[in-house]
A = this chain, B = another copy of it.
Amino acid sequence: MNPHIAPVPLDKAFRLINHGPTILVSARHGGVDNVMAASWACALDYAPPKLTVVLDKIASTRELVEQSGGFVIQVPTVAQLDLTYQVGHRSLAEQPDKLARSGVELFNIDGHEQPFVAGCSAWLACRVMPEPHNQDRYDLFIGEIVGAWADTRVFSHGHWNFETADPSWRSLHYIAGGRFYAIGEAKNAHPATSA
């Protein structure tokens, strides 16, 4: 594993997606790996940490998630702009070599069955908390976060360092039609005073 990748304490895992980045969902079952892009993923709870992700019924990745009961949410970077867009628009059913065509390289982490996408800034290994009504009616999946990691070149000691890391590490925030925004400047709020 890349020596820059370090575990993130589970009580800080929400910080990896709290700023609303577009994410990649990866899953594996029966020897098949797939990766898709999704904008509709969101933290749900701190402890135990949970998140939601919307997986359309036509997505091949959804089948792997349902079959294996697990998935990884990872945060792609500006350097992975085209990769992110392409895995979101190619179908494994139509292009069996989708991952290679899109430039995706996978790696494994000991103790976890799911595939992880190399080059991302952060990874959240998740176990599906079965909620058949949500999955059927809303395509909404709830995952318990069972492992978290980040690349220390952009996230360390519980904090994102977008403002000091190379700009190619910034997270992507999708709108529509191939248009993303990178995350921008840090802003520190002034707390409410009791006066």
Residues of A in contact with B (beta carbons under 8 Å apart)? 12, 15, 18-22, 39-45, 50, 52, 54, 78, 81-82, 84-86, 89-90, 101-102, 133-134, 138-140, 142, 158-160, 162, 170, 172-176, 178-192
A162: which B residues are within 8 A, CB to CB?
181
CB pair A187 B191 closer than 8 Å: no
Residue in contact with A181 in the complex, picked from B22, B44, B139, B183, CB distance below 8 Å: B183
CB pair A190 B15 closer than 8 Å: no
CB pair B181 A186 closer than 8 Å: yes
Give Cα distance in the complex from A84 to B100, angstroms.
43
Give Cα distance in the complex from A43 to B140, angstroms.
11
> How close is A3's CB to chain B, nearest CB, in angstroms?
25
9 tightest CB-CB pairs across the interface, nearest first?
A20-B20, A184-B184, A85-B189, A19-B173, A42-B42, A86-B192, A182-B184, A180-B187, A178-B189
